[in-house]
Amino acid sequence: MVRGLLRGVGSGLVPAALVTVALTGCSSEEASDRPLPQASAKGASKVDGKADGKADGKRDAPVAAAKGGTVGGPGSPCALPVSFDLAADWKPKADTMDKQFGLTKQGPVTLVCEIDAKPAGNIGFLRVWTGGRAGDDPRKALEAFVAGEAKSRDKVAYAQIKAGEYAATEVTYLNTNEFLDAPKKERALALTTPKGVVVVHLGGLDTAEHEAMLPAYELAKKSVRRA
């Protein structure tokens, strides 16, 4: 498979007629009864949870990358309710995709920013989605996001976490879309701000790319703050 990214393989971001083209993209997934292991410097982490695949649990986090930039604040390419740090050479860009077909909306949130890992040597994106209202439950918003973003999925596990100064919900899962060469890991977090819900999603071309980009995701997660 060509190692290029078009948004939306298995994620509902392109129409069905474009599926053949979208085989090089990144994406998203149904919960099962086992938690999804996470890569870290110490190996696979443990998730304590119930057997329904939607239980809360604690995870060992990979080491965060060093700061190379910031997104979301004044002068940023993406206007966001929050700001967070970026790993070196990750490039943010406001989403400009035509929204007339509803291709950039999943659950209550809409895609507003893509942060490209390609200049840093990886094939994948951090994608930021916003929507909903102040006071919305981030867990429910994240469940709705995953249901739309990842229609075929396995090993879904949710956890209550801290994302910078915010209480948040995080999900890990295995994208099992039939058009992928193999199932691949993905994850996302959701938090609620006075301006609504923010979802940060990390995909990747495959599981190896996803795990290589985890330090950048962890940097974003630990540095979330009000914009």
Percent of the chain with pLDDT over 90: 60
Whether residue 6 lies inside any domain: the answer is: no
Q: Could you tell me the pLDDT band of residue 74, with boundaries at 50, 70 and 90?
A: confident
Q: Using an 8 Å Cβ cutoff, are 25 and 7 in contact?
A: yes
Q: Is residue 16 in some structural domain?
A: no
Q: Is residue 161 part of a domain?
A: yes
Domain that holds residue 48: 27-226
Measured between alpha carbons, how far is 115 from 95 in angstroms, rounded to an integer? Answer: 10
Quick check: is 7 in a domain?
A: no
Domain of 147, CATH number, reads 3.40.1000.10
Comparing 70 with 25, the larger pLDDT belongs to 70
Q: With respect to residue 73, please indicate whether it lies within any of the assigned structural domains.
A: yes
Secondary structure element (H or E) that encloses residue 198, with its range: strand 196-202
Does some domain include residue 79? yes
Q: Name the residue with higher pLDDT: 148 or 111.
A: 111
- Give the per-residue pLDDT at 19: 34
The pLDDT tens digits for 140-175 are 999 999 998 888 999 999 999 999 999 999 999 998
Task: Please tell me the number of Cα atoms within 13 Å of 26 on its side-chain side.
Answer: 27
Domain count, the chain: 1
Query: Is 20 within a domain?
Result: no
